[in-house]
Structures are given as C-alpha cells and as structure tokens.
Amino acid sequence: MLLIPGSQGLLAVKLSRLTGFKLGYAQLEKLPNGEKYIRVSGEITGDVVIVNSLAHNPDEMIMESLFLAETLKEYGAKRVFAVFPYLPYSRERAIRGEAFPIKAIAKIFSCLDRMYVVDFHLEDMIPEFPFEVVNLTAMEELAKYAENFDVKDPVVIAPDEEALRWASIVAEKLGIDCYYMKKIRVDAENVIIESAPHEAQGKDIIIVDDMIATGSTVVQAIKVLKRIGCGKIYVLCTHPVLAADALRRIFENGAEEVIGTDTVPSPISYVSVAPIIAKALVES
C-alpha cells in the first residue's frame, strides 16, 4: 500500500512510520491563474491512499484531492482510498433553501473505493456515499490525555445534545458521569445555551465536542457553567478548526486547557489520530 500526502497531508508521515507502508509523492502546485497542477511520480500499482486534511481552504483541498484520486486511477492504481481525518461541510441543513454540500461531496468522490474519516459530524449521511466510509473516533485517545488533567471529582459535559454521543465515550473511558446542555443556534456564529445541568455545580468540568470552529458554543457553555459555580473547565475536541479568534475567546472566558487532535493542524493538536487510522488501514 502506498501513501500519498496532499497539501495538508502531514499525517501521512506518521501513518507511514506506524504501518510500514511506503510514503509516495505527488507534485501539487497552484498555478498563477488559480488552477491546481497535479502530477504523480514513479510507478503506480496496487492500492494507494491519499492523506489530506480538508480543513483549511476546504474548497481548494477538495478539488486537489479529487484531481489526485482521478490521476492515480488513470495511471494504474488498483484501488484508491482516502484518509480525510477532517471532512468539511458537515453541518446540518437548518432552513429551507439552504445548500447541503455534503451530498455533492459524496457524489464527486465516487472514484474512491473507500474513505476514512474521524468523528464525522453527519454520520447519518454515510449511507448516501457510493463507496465505503469508515468513521473512526478519536474520543478514547482524547480521554487518555484527559487522565492527566488536574481535576477533582469531575464530570463530562456535552455543550449540546448532539455532542452527547462523543462526550459519553470520554465519560465511559474515564469512569465519570456525563450530562448535556441545551443549545439554540441563532446563526453560524451565534448560539444560546439555555441552562447547565445542576449536577455540574461545584464540580470540575471536561467539555467534549467533535469540533471547535467559531468557538461560540464552547464560550457560551463556559459562561453558563461559571455562573452556576463550577470549578476548573477543560475542553476536548477532535477537530480544532479554530476560525478567527476562537481559541483566544475560549481561554479568556475561563478554560484551563483546550486540547484537540491533529485531524486539523493547530496550536492545540496535542493528540494524534495516527494510531487509530494506522490500525484501520492495516486491518483493511
């Protein structure tokens, strides 16, 4: 199996070390007119894995990965897999008339034979993809990191009901209780957290969510938890997208630490998803 990193494919190096799979190369350039130039080198045979985080400049990274997949198939790859640890456009459609891009993404990547993702937000959409999608979770790895937090009698808090599926994994791994908060989303950057569970009062808190983008949900959750008199607050997430000043606002509102994974390269990517992806690749 050959690993080919995309422009945001640093994870391929870690995967190569863990699996022993050969690390390949593709020439990826952006031309002066804005178009992408793709060229694969060497003999292409057997199974090939594209590794690319699609977080930063997602439209460009999607097209780059698509062109690379098609080129690999054209030049002899038997099967082409993709490791997209962060898959963008994973928000629910909120109101009538909104685009739902994930359906188009599923179609345009039809040349793939398998896709590996991590904590994919729209898990219910997986049956819509015309190829196998392996959805892994980083929550147990994040829970291992959280074992070193300086907390006393903590509880895990999901900042909304949807995040409960991830928060419950961390809570189970740590052997502590888990609760969720009620959220109303106003728009892409603003949310309202209605209340905090009374069980959080006086407790140290570990907030768990799959993604931090604008940071609004986490910031509002921290404010509400502080109002009821909770103790220290730590934050875990799989995908630290961290748009604009998200990280600064989270710390300013009282977070002790904010920990993410390397599905998205960031200043808080302390936990690597390479081991869980490597295991899945080897087992396949």
Whether residue 226 lies in the annotated active site: no
Main-chain phi, psi angles of 131, to 5 degrees: -150, 170
Residue 251 corresponds to which amino acid?
F
Report the C-alpha gap between 195 and 72 in whole angstroms.
Answer: 51
Do 149 and 127 touch, CB atoms closer than 8 A?
Answer: no
> What's the residue count for the chain?
284
Report the C-alpha gap between 169 and 104 in whole angstroms.
Answer: 31
Contacts of 214 (CB under 8 A, 6+ apart): 188, 189, 243, 244, 246
Token look-up 């799959």 returns 210
Q: Which of 182, 183, 226, 232 is catalytic?
A: 183
Do 208 and 170 touch, CB atoms closer than 8 A?
Answer: yes
Contacts of 20 (CB under 8 A, 6+ apart): none
Query: Where would I find the H helices in 32-186?
Result: 58-74, 101-108, 139-146, 164-174
Whose CA is closest to 55, among 272, 242, 208? 242
Alpha carbons within 13 angstroms on the beta-carbon side of residue 11 total 32
Report the C-alpha gap between 132 and 135 in whole angstroms.
Answer: 10
Residue 43 in tokens: 């003999």
Residue 62 in tokens: 């999607």
The set of catalytic residues is 183
